[in-house]
Amino acid sequence: PDEWYANTLTLANFLCGIAAIGSVYAGHPLRAFVLVFLGQFFDLFDGRLARIFGSTRHGPMFDDVADGTSFGAATAYLVMTELSKHLPIAIAVSLAVFYVGCVIYRLHRFLHPKVALPDGVFDGMPSPAGALLAAASALLFGSTAPWLAALLVAAASLLMISHLRYRHFARSIWPALPRAIKPVICIVAIIFADAALAHKLPHVSFSLCCFLIGLAYTFYGIDFRFYRGTRKTPATRTQTAPAGEG
């Protein structure tokens, strides 16, 4: 049925999260990060399919479970494993628990919004962006500057539960890109991820690229039109969740 199209990609995102957890356990943090990165593509397009073809009654909840697995549990496990090598285990565990708690709260707030928001705007940084920033920080700075990595993970956690208005990537940023550029971006991203999985790229290259993407969205993704007063929030519309954060 048409309404199951979105669920198939949501399932792919969920499986990426499960595989990422297994990769961290097996001692392959970069592979785990690449799987989380690929899960973000499935999360991006399951939302688009849900808006086109609809979704099942429990589709939004399933999407949150998948997001919580990939961008919550798998990312937190990766952060804890990397930071515990250079920081006290209690600090690494506490930071990972705090991070996953923020992701869960973020996803719950997305399904049960209490504020009216215009279409294409998030209340707080979306969890895929938070995962990108947190995991890349742990891999990049975990061994050289562990306290900086911990600070960046904490910042990503707080941004997700903040009330900063962030633009929806799939509805606000992606549509504004030239049509010819979109397939090029997808192809390059897939080749880049494949090269990282095949160990044909230095571990730092992939992590640095993802860190810069996450950092750029942290600032560029803020809906400054809202704060300048040029975007008005409809009085009767609330943030809905037919397709999750993708």
pLDDT for the residue 118? 77
Per the structure block, which two tokens stand in for 64? 């949150």
pLDDT for the residue 175? 73
Per the structure block, which two tokens stand in for 15? 């499986």
Distance between CA atoms of residues 108 and 161, nearest Å: 10
Counting as low any pLDDT under 50, the low residues of the chain are 233-242
Q: What is the pLDDT of residues 158-195, one digit of tens each?
A: 999 999 999 888 777 777 778 888 788 888 888 877 78
Per the structure block, which two tokens stand in for 180? 């010819």
pLDDT for the residue 197? 74
pLDDT for the residue 4? 77
pLDDT for the residue 133? 95
Beta-bridge mates of residue 122: 166
Q: Report DSSP letters for the chain, one per residue.
A: -GGGHHHHHHHHHHHHHHHHHHHHHTT-HHHHHHHHHHHHHHHHHHHHHHHHH---TTHHHHHHHHHIIIIIIIHHHHHHHHHTTTS-HHHHHHHHHHHHHHHHHHHHHHHS--S---TTEEES--HHHHHHHHHHHHHHHTTT-HHHHHHHHHHHHHHHHS--EEE-IIIIIGGGS-TTHHHHHHHHHHHHHHHHHTT-S-HHHHHHHHHHHHHHHHHHTB-HHHHHT-SPPPSS-----SSTT-
